[in-house]
Structure 1
Amino acid sequence: MKENRTEQGWWNTLPQDWTAPLRGKDGTEIEVPLREHPALRKYASKDEAVKALVHAQRLVGRKPDGYVRVPGPEAEPEERNAFRSALGLPKRPEEYGLPELDLPEGFEVDGKLQGEFLQVAHELGLTPEQVHGLYAWFLPRNVETVRAMEQDREDRRGKELESLRGLHRGDTRAVLEAARRAALTLGGEELLAVLDETGAADRAVVVSALSRLAPVLLEGRFRFRDAGAARTITPEKLKEMMRDPRYHDPLQRDPAFVDKVAKGFATLYPGKYEPGTRV
C-alpha cells in the first residue's frame, strides 16, 4: 500500500516539542510544531531537508553576484561614491556626454538649461542610459511644443487681421500704420516691443483703438513730452488758473503762466478752442 506522505511522512518522526514560526494568511506569526510546518512537505526525506539546510547556511552573509548595498542617509561619502561607481554613474555632470540630435533650422540648445538638466540628473543618481533616453525624448518634444505655439500665434494673427479687414476694408493698411505711429508716440520702440511680445499688437481691438487715438496724439500741440502735466491738469484746476491775476489781469499778466494755461487747454481739449468757452 502506498504511503500517505501527508499523514505518515518522515516529519512525523520529529519531536513534538520542536517548534518553528509560521506566518498565516492574515500576516500574523505563530509558533507551530515543526512536524506540522508546511515547509517540510516539499522534501522527500529527512536527508533531503538536511542538505537543503546546509546549503542555505552556506549562502548566509554571501552577496549574490551583482548585489550592491544601497547606502542609507548616514552613509559616508566613500560609500556613496562606491555605490555610484557600481551603477556606472559619472563623477561629474558634464561627463554624461549627451547624444547629438538634429534640430530644425532656427533652433538651438540653451547651454545654461542643458547644464541644469545634467546637474539635476547627477543629483538624482540617473545612469547615463537614463539621461540619454530622457534627453533624446525631451528635446524633440520641446521643439514640437515651440512650433505648435508659433503656429497657434500665426493662426490667431491671421484671424485678427481678417477681422480688421472686415471692419476697415480698403483702409486696413492705413489703420495699421496709424496704430503703429500712435504706439510710437505713446511709448516709443519699447512699447512696440512689449505689444509684439505679449501678442497685443496682433489684436484687432488694440489696433483699432490705437488708430482712433492717432489723430489726437499726432497733433503738433499734443505730444507726450508734457505727460507729467497731462496727468495732473483737470477742468477745475484750469478754472482756478484762469482766475489767477497772472492770467486775466493785464497789469500782472505773466507770459509763462499764460502759456501754461494754453497748454492745459491743449491737453484737455485737443483741437481748436477759445479760452473761456469750454470751461
Structure 2
Amino acid sequence: MTKTTNATADWRMTMPEEWTVKQLAEDGSEVEIPLREHPALRDYKTKDEAVKALVHAQRMLGKTPEGYVRMPGKDDGPEQVAAFYAALGRPEAPDGYALPEIDLPDGFEVQEAMLEGFRSIAFDLGLTPEQVAGLYQWFLPLVLDTHAGLEAEARQLKDSELESLRAVHRGETPRMLDNALRTAEVLGGKDLLHALDQTRAGDRAAVIAAFAKMAPLVLESGMRTSGSGWGEELSREKLREMMQDPRYHDPLKRDPEFVAKIRKGFEQLYPGDYIPGSRL
C-alpha cells in the first residue's frame, strides 16, 4: 500500500503548475508564481472551501459591508463630510459635547467663552464625544498645573529680588520700598501701579531701586509745599516729628485737631489712599 504524502494530500497540489499569478516579492518587485503556492489559499483546507469563499466574494462586490464608512474625498461637499462625521459619532451640534466635571482650585473658574470655543473646534474637527471628553480631562489639569508652576516661579523671583534689595539696603529696605511705591503712585497713579503688578515689573529689584532713587525729587522737593493752614514747610521729616508728640500717639492726651492736621499733611504730601504710620 502506497503511503500518502502531505504534498499529495494537499488539494492545492492538484492544481496545474502552469496556472500562475502575479505576486509581490519581499523586495517590492512583482513576480509570477504558481497559483497553488499563493499564500491566500493556505487558509482553506479543501478545494470546496476555497470555491465557496470565491462565490461569496463575488456576491459581495458592489455592496457596502456592515460598519463600513466611506471616507470623503477632496471632491466631496460639506454634506458628505458631515455624514462621515455623523457616522463616526459626532453630535449634531457643538453643544452636544458633554464635558466631565473637574475640581478646580479656589479662585479658578473656566470661562464659558473658552468652553464654547473648545466645543466649536472639536465639532469642526469631527471629534466624537468620547474623544472630546478625554481631551478636556487631560488638557484642563495640564493648564492648571502650568499656571501653578508659573505662579510659583513668579513668587520665587519676587523673593529673590527682594532678598537682593535687603542685602544692599539692610534695615532701610522697608523705607526704600515705601518710597518706591509712593513715587510710582505720584508719577503714574493707580494705572501705573496696576501695570507694574500685571507685568510683574514691580517685583524687579532694578525697577524698585529706580523709583526709590527718584523719591527725593518726587516726594520731597517736588511735593514739598507750605501746606494750606500749616504756616511752616511741610515735609516727611516734619510729619514724623509730629507723630512723636503725645497729642498724636498717647491715647490719654490725643488731640483730634492735631491728629487731623497730621493726616491732612500726609494727604497733601502723598496724594492717594495713604494711612499715616502704615509705611513709615
TM-score w.r.t. the length of structure 1 is 0.70
Cα distance in structure 2, aligned partners of 1:43 and 1:2: 23
1:64-213 map, 5 Å:
64-213=65-214
List per-residue Cα deviations over 1:59-110 (Å, max 9, x = no partner).
3333333211111122233322222222221122122122222212100012
Cα distance in structure 2, aligned partners of 1:45 and 1:101: 59
Residues 7-16 or 85-94, more deviating? 7-16
Cα distance in structure 1, aligned partners of 2:196 and 2:33: 82
Cα distance in structure 2, aligned partners of 1:136 and 1:10: 57
Counterpart contact for 2:22–2:30, Cα < 8 Å: yes
Q: Aligned residue for 2:216?
A: 215
Q: Aligned residue for 1:26?
A: 27
Cα distance in structure 2, aligned partners of 1:152 and 1:35: 71
Opposite residue 145 of structure 2, the aligned amino acid is: E
Q: Aligned residue for 1:252?
A: none
Rate the CA distance shift 1:177–1:78 in 2: closer, same or farther, 3 A: same
How far has the Cα of 1:56 moved from its partner? Answer: 2.6
Opposite residue 178 of structure 2, the aligned amino acid is: E
Rate the CA distance shift 1:9–1:92 in 2: closer, same or farther, 3 A: closer
Gaps of 5+ in 2: 225-280
How far has the Cα of 1:34 moved from its partner? Answer: 3.0
Aligned partner of residue 176 in structure 2, secondary structure: helix
Cα distance in structure 2, aligned partners of 1:16 and 1:117: 63
Cα distance in structure 2, aligned partners of 1:213 and 1:90: 62
Q: Aligned residue for 1:263?
A: none
Rate the CA distance shift 1:31–1:77 in 2: closer, same or farther, 3 A: same
* Percent identical: 51
Cα distance in structure 2, aligned partners of 1:126 and 1:6: 53
List per-residue Cα deviations over 1:166-220 (Å, max 9, x = no partner).
2222221111111112212332222222222222211223212211211022344
List per-residue Cα deviations over 1:200-253 (Å, max 9, x = no partner).
211223212211211022344589xxxxxxxxxxxxxxxxxxxxxxxxxxxxxx
Residues 124-133 or 57-66, more deviating? 57-66
Rate the CA distance shift 1:18–1:195 in 2: closer, same or farther, 3 A: same
Residues 150-159 or 171-180, more deviating? 150-159
How far has the Cα of 1:145 moved from its partner? Answer: 1.6
Counterpart contact for 2:180–2:211, Cα < 8 Å: yes
Rate the CA distance shift 1:28–1:105 in 2: closer, same or farther, 3 A: same
Rate the CA distance shift 1:48–1:100 in 2: closer, same or farther, 3 A: closer
Residues 14-23 or 185-194, more deviating? 14-23
Opposite residue 150 of structure 1, the aligned amino acid is: E
Rate the CA distance shift 1:216–1:44 in 2: closer, same or farther, 3 A: closer
1:219-238 map, 5 Å:
219-220=220-221
Rate the CA distance shift 1:48–1:202 in 2: closer, same or farther, 3 A: closer
Opposite residue 75 of structure 2, the aligned amino acid is: E
Opposite residue 145 of structure 1, the aligned amino acid is: T
Q: Aligned residue for 1:268?
A: none
Gaps of 5+ in 1: 224-279
Rate the CA distance shift 1:152–1:45 in 2: closer, same or farther, 3 A: closer
List per-residue Cα deviations over 1:92-144 (Å, max 9, x = no partner).
21221222222121000122222221111111111001101111121122122
